[in-house]
Structure 1
């Protein structure tokens, strides 16, 4: 049965599955859980892993909140109704190894009434160093998930991710993208509500196998101090995007969300280097050349 209660329950199950998978991947790190309540209605489960063997800092958060929408959010959503319900799982993982990528995933459901409700979400990759084979693998996994529901999903959602995860003031993408979607409804997809919900869960469940493969490909590579410093510099771009542009961060802050859960997406350390210029022909320059829209990772 399709209901907000079933959506919240299944999202909590996915949170459990992902935490178990990430603990197994790391080998030593364990998640700490904090149960919290939101003033105004609802709450969530924040789970954070820190200082693991490969996962330096990561969060796998579940929330189900309800109440009255603030006026800025109502204007942004272009709605007059103020009662809302929102539930989802949000993930950001920062590894300690510069050859292992940052990854983000979010699946969510928003509802105001029977007429105003939708699913949103996505998953994207932010490598410190872009390896073409890893980029192809990642996008192929996402395309497989999308194609199970609609062959139109991947090209549409891939373009959406390119446009969304774009740091305008740097004129570069945050990473190599992935998929991003919002306001999915039967009218916009040709799918029933139950099918869109299944798609949302499939996106959530592709996270662990895809990231496990990418981590294991790169976790034993040697790296230099300069490469570690480059990782800190790329983390600063991630922080800039999340603080300036990310809609989820803005929504959480404007609806009186839990600040520690909202800002768990920020890395444990990031560096800002003044007017950095990569050496011509370097791996850093190669990576920067990949940080643009429209790359076809299916070739």
Structure 2
């Protein structure tokens, strides 16, 4: 692929990701039924920018963000070292989504699809989707993983198991010894050399992951949006949100990359929920729904 073709490919990825952002925002606004996304166009010092779209205080979505960015410039030394690269010129584009629902029986969802490039030889796709239920509902977990497996299987039969394990390992809160939620898929540095797919196929896989978001989350909203809940169950929701915050601020590589490349702070931290609580040494009652949920926050469960 020549330099001109690489430039055209980069433009194709940008337009494809913008379309994903548009379609997901439209579907979520329709599913919520109250309000719309507020958009802010921003520019990054050093090169590029993005479209931040935030939804707040809806019928279902208490706070959510569907962000697109395409940024370029010079990599800081710390990022160069982490990526094990010599060149410092980079281009990165992606869509990042986090939705925090108001009902504790609707799960938190996160998705990220991204493309990173330094030159024709040094470039890759990354991304994934993971689900963080406040209460683990087995039928929802199986539905979620089944759709992810379907998407992966369209491209490579080995993808789902490989990327599921990577999600279990990545979305693990080491200081709590528990997974952030029920996992999903997580992948990074996908390129022809390590997948057997060409660049166009890898791009289509990235779009396929993005297009899986709408059927997954609108179904989970419809299943659980009208479930009645108590003040105690909402308190548990706030406690589980604190785990989400801990992971994002301590371990999340996207948060670190955004901060270290002088990204827009409001866009980077849009993943944080509006209301969170930390209770000292909180332990749910034995055999309670909360204890049952904690028992399932472990690696290696075969949900599909």
Shorter-chain TM-score category? over 0.9
Instruction: Tell me which of 56, 79, 86 is aligned to 2:92.
Output: 86
Q: Where in structure 1 do 4 or more consecutive aligned residues deviate above 4 Å? A: none
Give the equivalent residue in structure 2 for 1:291: 297
The equivalent position to 1:119 in structure 2, one of 121, 125, 150, is: 125
Cα distance in 2 for partners of 1:291, 1:12 equals: 34
Q: Is the 8 A contact 1:127 1:175 kept in 2?
A: yes
In structure 2, the partner of 1:174 is: 180
Deviation at 1:276, TM superposition (A): 0.6
Q: Distance in 2 between matches of 1:193 and 1:177?
A: 27
Alignment of 1:205-224 (within 5 A): 205-224=211-230
Which secondary structure does the structure 1 equivalent of 2:92 belong to? Answer: strand
| 1:67-116 Cα shifts (integer Å, max 9, x gaps) | 00000000000001000000000000000000000000000000000000
Whole-angstrom distance in 1 between the partners of 2:12 and 2:71: 14
Corresponding residue of 1:4: 10
Tell me if the contact between 1:119 and 1:196 (Cα under 8 Å) persists in the aligned partners.
yes
1:235 maps to which of 237, 241, 248: 241
After TM superposition, the score normalised by the length of structure 2 is: 0.97
Separation in structure 1 between the aligned mates of residue 212 and residue 221 of structure 2, nearest angstrom: 14
Q: How does 1:1-299 map to 2 (within 5 A)?
A: 3-298=9-304
Deviations 1:142-170 (A, max 9, x none): 00000000000000000000000000000
SS of match in other structure, 1:292? coil
Tell me how far 1:267 sits from its aligned partner: 0.2
Q: Residue 180 of structure 1: SS of its match in structure 2?
A: strand
Deviation, structure 1 residue 3:
1.0
TM-score (norm 1): 0.99
Instruction: Provide the secondary structure at the position in 2 that maps to 1:285.
Output: helix
Q: Is the 8 A contact 1:108 1:120 kept in 2?
A: yes
Where does the alignment leave 5 or more consecutive residues of structure 2 unmatched? none
Q: Distance in 1 between matches of 2:10 and 2:251?
A: 28
CA contact (8 A) 1:29 1:55 kept: no
CA offset at residue 29 of structure 1?
2.3
Instruction: Classify the secondary structure of the residue corresponding to 1:35.
Output: strand
Aligned-residue CA RMSD in angstroms?
0.6
- How far apart, CA to CA, are the structure 2 residues paired with 1:213 and 1:290? 22
Query: What number of residue pairs does the alignment pair up?
Result: 298
